[in-house]
């Protein structure tokens, strides 16, 4: 078995034993890969030949002693090739166990974060103006007519941009954020995110197990991928978000100061502001996941820094990213750390 799996390695002659380095006897050995059995060349002038075989770290070394000369031959085994089931299974088992530990650690941390957030929202967040919160909600939903009250411009901006965040996450999670190793579908969480924001997406982040399933051309032509992959959808989303941000930026200092006061008094505005912060914080990871799935990291890595800009960064990435229809149907996203 040792001979049949060996590759021929070139042999080097050393003129005298005194010139043989003791610490690194293989420093002068060159490697050549030829699928032949190892052979030992014997000089016609040699009187006595002694051959010794030794195996170490998957290599076979052949020491041939001639009279006054030493010939060293080395051969590597095919045990490091993918055909060897024992080595590959062991390596894959170790890597899978390490990945599973990382996945479980990340899932547990996200689950703890979700639980802490829910506890804070229901028990610790400010709730000094519940009646005013209901009035603001009715005004924002256009359930109340014009009664002469001027709504805070910053509050209006945050409200409308929160309506665009679920669309951005839908374009990031479908299809590259889906799970192939679990039966948990992403679309119910995305639908709930239109009402509950990041508080509905965090449970999916806990259960997410990449990589995503394969995507066929026929699926890309059907709803909802044909809508979410459309550059028109991405462009309109970016334009709408940019308009909302400009509207908030043009608000007076009094409006910003009033919004900060609302944040400290109103449960509705406090929870919505935290929701906006959470969506902004998780977006760069999903941009990176989508970017690597489309094998666009080398060209689009500069967008990762821009994705840190709340909403506008991820929305700009959606406009510039390559289409899945022009890429191979095999997706290869990152593993969560």
Write down the pLDDT at residue 100. 54
Q: What is the 8-class DSSP label of residue 19?
A: G
Do 74 and 197 sit in the same domain of this protein?
A: no
Query: Is 332 within the bounds of a domain?
Result: no
Helix (H, G, I), strand (E, B) or coil at 61: strand
pLDDT at 215: 80
256 and 273 co-located in one domain: yes
> Domain for residue 147, yes or no?
yes
pLDDT in tens, 300-311: 889 999 999 999
Confidence of residue 101 (pLDDT cuts 50, 70, 90): low
Residues 18 and 90 in one domain: no
Q: Tell me: do 74 and 133 sit in the same domain.
A: no
Distances (CA, A) of 191 to 77, 186, 225, 227: 56, 9, 15, 15
* Residue 38 within a domain: yes
End of a domain among 21, 53, 80? 80
In a domain, 3, yes or no: no
Whether residue 66 is found in the same domain as residue 148 = no
Based on the fold, state whether residues 300 and 285 are members of the same structural domain: yes
Residue 129 lies in a domain: yes
Same domain, 247 and 143: yes
Overall domain count for the chain: 2
In a shared domain, residues 54 and 147: no
Single residue among 80, 113, 132 that ends a domain in this structure: 80
Q: Is the pLDDT of residue 66 over 70?
A: no
The pLDDT score that the predictor gives to residue 163 is: 96
Residue-wise pLDDT for 137-194, tens only, equals: 999 999 988 888 999 999 999 999 999 999 999 999 998 888 877 788 999 999 999 9
pLDDT computed for residue 191 by the predictor: 96
Evaluate if pTM is beyond 0.85: no
User: Residues 5-40: pLDDT tens digits?
Assistant: 434 444 444 444 344 444 444 444 333 334 434 444
Question: 127 and 248 share a domain?
Answer: yes
Alpha-helical (H) ranges within the chain are 85-119, 130-140, 153-173, 187-196, 198-207, 217-220, 225-228, 231-249, 253-265, 267-293, 297-300, 302-306, 312-320
Q: Look at residue 234 and tell me whether its pLDDT is greater than 70.
A: yes
Is 4 a domain residue?
A: no
| Alpha-carbon gap, residue 184 to 336, rounded angstroms | 17
Q: What is the pLDDT of residue 299?
A: 87
27 and 114 share one domain: no
Q: What is the DSSP letter of 335?
A: P
Q: What is the pLDDT of residues 192-205, one digit of tens each?
A: 999 999 999 999 99
Tell me the C-alpha distance between 105 and 231, whole Å.
36
**Residue where one domain finishes, among candidates 50, 80, 110:** 80
5 occurs within a structural domain: no
Distance set, CA 183 to CA 115, 171, 337 (Å): 23, 20, 21
- Residue 315's pLDDT is 97
The contacts of residue 294 (CB under 8 Å, 6+ apart) are 176, 321, 322, 324, 327, 331
Q: Tell me what percent of the residues of the chain surpass a pLDDT of 70.
A: 66
Residues 308 and 277: beta-carbon distance below 8 Å: no
Question: Does residue 131 form part of some domain?
Answer: yes
Determine the structural domain holding residue 28 and report its residue range: 12-80
Whether residues 37 and 95 share a domain: the answer is no
Residues 131 and 149 grouped into a single domain? yes
């Amino acid at each position: 078995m040792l001979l049949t799996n060996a590759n021929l390695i070139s042999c080097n002659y050393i003129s005298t034993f005194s010139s043989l380095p003791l610490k690194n006897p293989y420093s002068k050995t060159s490697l050549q890969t030829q699928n032949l059995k190892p052979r030992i060349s014997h000089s016609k002038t040699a009187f006595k030949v002694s051959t010794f075989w030794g195996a170490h770290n998957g290599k076979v070394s052949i020491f041939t002693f001639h009279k006054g000369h030493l010939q060293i031959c080395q051969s590597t085994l095919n045990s490091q090739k993918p055909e060897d089931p024992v080595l590959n299974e062991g390596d894959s088992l170790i890597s899978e166990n390490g990945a599973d530990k990382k996945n479980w650690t990340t899932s547990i941390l996200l689950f703890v974060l979700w639980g802490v957030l829910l506890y804070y929202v229901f028990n610790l967040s400010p709730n000094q103006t519940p009646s005013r919160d209901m009035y603001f909600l009715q005004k924002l939903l256009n359930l109340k007519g014009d009664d002469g009250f001027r709504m805070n411009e910053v509050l209006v901006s945050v409200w409308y941009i929160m309506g665009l965040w679920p669309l951005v996450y839908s374009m990031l999670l479908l299809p590259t954020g889906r799970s192939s190793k679990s039966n948990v579908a992403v679309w119910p969480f995305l639908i709930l995110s239109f009402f509950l924001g990041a508080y509905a997406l965090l449970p999916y982040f806990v259960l997410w197990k990449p990589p995503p399933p394969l995507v066929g051309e026929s699926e890309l032509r059907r709803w909802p991928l044909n809508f979410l992959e459309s550059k028109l959808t991405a462009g309109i989303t970016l334009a709408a978000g940019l308009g909302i941000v400009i509207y908030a930026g043009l608000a007076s200092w009094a409006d910003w100061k009033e919004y900060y006061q609302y944040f400290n008094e109103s449960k509705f505005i406090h929870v919505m502001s935290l929701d906006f912060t959470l969506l902004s914080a998780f977006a760069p990871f999903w941009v990176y996941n989508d970017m690597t799935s489309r094998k666009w990291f080398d060209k689009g890595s500069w967008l990762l820094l821009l994705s840190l800009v709340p909403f506008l960064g991820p929305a700009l990435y959606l406009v510039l990213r390559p289409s899945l229809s022009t890429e191979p149907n095999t997706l290869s996203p990152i593993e969560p750390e």
